[in-house]
Amino acid sequence: MNTEKIRLRGKVVSGLGVGRKYVELYRQMINKYLGINPFPGTLNIDIGYDVSELLAKTTSKLIPPPFPGYGAVIAYKGYIEDIEVYVIKPCITSHGWNILEIISEKNLRKQLKLKDGDEIEIVIVSL
């Protein structure tokens, strides 16, 4: 098993406003495959460059679509400070690989007192 940790720094950015809807649609699948009850929404971090090759160096889980016509989601486990999070990458998305969409059981913006433009570090670990 690959035990490499990947440390990424980026800036908190506003999303497209649809994270809440999709987290709710995928809630049962996220719970089944990741074992978490996600907060309805995502925290978006702009890393500033394409991180797809870096993320390919660690393990991920594939979350199948909850309904026909929806896409699968790739999930990478990580930590922001001491909070367990998952970077999710929908197979159908408007975001490039420079934007990390983060889910957690916690409201990360509120818990970490984050606003757009704040710098943050995430550590990606093998599942």
Which tens digits make up the pLDDT trace of 19-58? 889 999 999 999 999 999 999 999 999 999 999 999 998 9
This prediction has a pTM of 0.93
Asked if pLDDT for residue 17 goes beyond 80, the answer is no
Asked if pLDDT for residue 1 goes beyond 50, the answer is no
Q: Measured between alpha carbons, how far is 55 from 10 in angstroms, rounded to an integer?
A: 15
Q: Is 43 helix (H, G, I), strand (E, B) or coil?
A: strand
Q: What is the pLDDT of residue 35?
A: 97
**Residues of the chain above pLDDT 70, percent:** 98
Class of domain 6-124: mainly beta
Q: Measured between alpha carbons, how far is 49 from 31 in angstroms, rounded to an integer?
A: 30
Which tens digits make up the pLDDT trace of 51-99? 999 999 899 999 999 999 999 999 999 999 999 999 999 988 888 899 9
Residue 80 in contact with residue 121, Cβ under 8 Å?
yes
Going by C-alpha positions, the residue among 77, 92, 89, 94 that lies closest to residue 4 is 77
